[in-house]
């Protein structure tokens, strides 16, 4: 495609990114490198007001590729968690099936997937933005079209007038409704998530079993995954199949940690008691249904509103979420700045076509694999073990 000379779609444009997750912050970095005027609006009160969760692994042809394009690969190398990309797979008795030894870290190896704490990743991205790019305490409420621009309204009473709006506001995106009315579907699986701040003291047996790796404990119909955090804590996910709306009908008060603990030890009653130590050490649980957007979703492009990451293509967890959001950010920044399109609508349409095509493939894989993760059969457990052993 020929470059359309003289057309700069970002010139004199104010861009609002809703959501300061990895996708939104990466996009802000890439757009600022191209001279764009960008603000990122985030509902968190400040940079340190909320724990960001567990580690994420970046992949050679997606997350790490984007880090290089954003000029941040050296900053990433200074912040990633060495050795945390290992996997340990155990059965319900905590017998070790797989002890992965990844060898030396090699950023030129396409199979190397280094892990980084979500908080460290967020801090690194923010540090490499222009001062005051992130506008904190800005929970998005709505937006109104005024001419060809948008007036954004926030819960704190503030407003902003912008030319381009990009929803990077996750699986509960409020921006999405301005792009499409396609709703999420329930996968049939859900996770109960918890965090332990000081596992070395509170659940030392689990801490030793995790050993700064990704731990997966599996039995027929049930899984527990445990990951380290950069702070030294642990995040765990107790996964299984649940009826839709089970959260509303089960009668468990998820604000009462003791009641959730009692449910979990009964549900996992024939597992090694060291997993009960994990549950007991957690004082705050969250139930997360694993939803997804239809993989064949389509919509007509808007002239100045679009989506990236989970706001665009929510899918069950498969290790691709952050990586895909970063690729979305790279593709969108290139479509808006490469001079190949005569107007914003054409650039956004080209980006969305590429984004949805990629997400369709990854989404199908994630949906196909969710039952094997949340409710594995003996066959799927055996296959997973053999896959890791053959690496």
Binding-site residues for NADPH sit at: 50
Q: Which two tokens stand for residue 174?
A: 């409020």
Task: Give CA separation, 201 vs 234, 257, 278, 279, in Å.
Answer: 12, 19, 11, 14
Task: Give CA separation, 309 vs 17, 224, 232, 330, 362, in Å.
Answer: 12, 26, 28, 12, 12
Residue environment code for 74-105, b if the CB has 16+ CB neighbours within 10 A, otherwise e:
ebbeebbbeebbbebbbebebeebbeeebeee
Binding residues for FAD: 57, 118, 310
Binding residues: 50, 57, 118, 310
What sign does the dihedral 249-294-336-348 (CA atoms) show?
negative
Q: Which residues contact 301 (CB under 8 A, 6 or more apart)?
A: 345, 348, 349, 352
Number of Cβ atoms within 10 Å of the Cβ of 249: 10
C-alpha to C-alpha distance for 216 and 90, rounded to whole angstroms: 6
CB 109 within 8 Å of CB 61: no
Q: Which two tokens stand for residue 305?
A: 């509103």
């Amino acid at each position: 495609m020929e470059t359309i000379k003289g057309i700069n779609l970002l010139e004199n444009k104010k861009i609002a990114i809703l959501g300061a997750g990895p996708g939104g912050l990466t996009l802000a970095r890439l757009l600022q490198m191209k001279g764009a005027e960008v603000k990122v609006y985030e509902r968190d009160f400040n940079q340190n007001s909320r724990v960001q969760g567990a580690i994420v692994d970046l992949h050679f042809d997606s997350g790490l590729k984007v880090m290089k394009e954003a000029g941040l690969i050296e900053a990433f190398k200074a912040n990633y968690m060495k050795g945390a990309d290992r996997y340990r797979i155990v059965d319900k008795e905590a017998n070790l099936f797989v002890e992965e030894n990844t060898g030396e870290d090699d950023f030129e190896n396409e199979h190397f997937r280094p892990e980084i704490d979500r908080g460290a990743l967020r801090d690194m991205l923010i540090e490499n933005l222009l001062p005051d790019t992130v506008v904190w305490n800005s929970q998005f409420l709505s937006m109104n079209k005024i001419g060809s621009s948008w007036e954004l309204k926030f819960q704190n009473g503030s407003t902003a007038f912008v030319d381009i709006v990009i929803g990077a506001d996750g699986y509960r995106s409020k921006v999405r409704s301005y792009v499409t009315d396609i709703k999420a579907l329930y996968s049939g699986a859900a996770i109960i998530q918890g965090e332990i701040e000081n596992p070395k003291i509170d659940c030392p047996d689990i801490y030793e079993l995790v050993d700064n790796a990704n731990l997966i404990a599996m039995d027929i119909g049930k899984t527990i995954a445990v990951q380290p955090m950069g702070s030294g804590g642990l995040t765990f996910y107790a996964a299984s199949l649940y009826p839709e709306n089970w959260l509303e009908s089960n009668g468990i008060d998820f604000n009462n940690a003791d009641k959730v603990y009692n449910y979990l030890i009964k549900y996992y009653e024939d597992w090694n008691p060291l997993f009960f130590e994990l549950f007991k050490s957690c004082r705050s649980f969250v139930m997360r249904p694993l939803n997804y957007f239809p993989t064949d979703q389509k919509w007509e492009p808007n002239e100045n509103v679009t989506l990236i990451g989970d706001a665009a293509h929510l899918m069950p967890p498969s290790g691709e979420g952050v990586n895909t959001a970063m690729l979305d950010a790279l593709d969108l920044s290139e479509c808006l700045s490469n001079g190949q399109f005569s107007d914003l609508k054409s650039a956004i349409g080209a980006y969305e076509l590429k984004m949805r095509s990629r997400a369709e493939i990854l989404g199908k894989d994630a949906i196909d694999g969710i039952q094997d993760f949340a409710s594995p059969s003996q066959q799927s457990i055996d296959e997973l073990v053999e896959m890791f052993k053959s690496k």
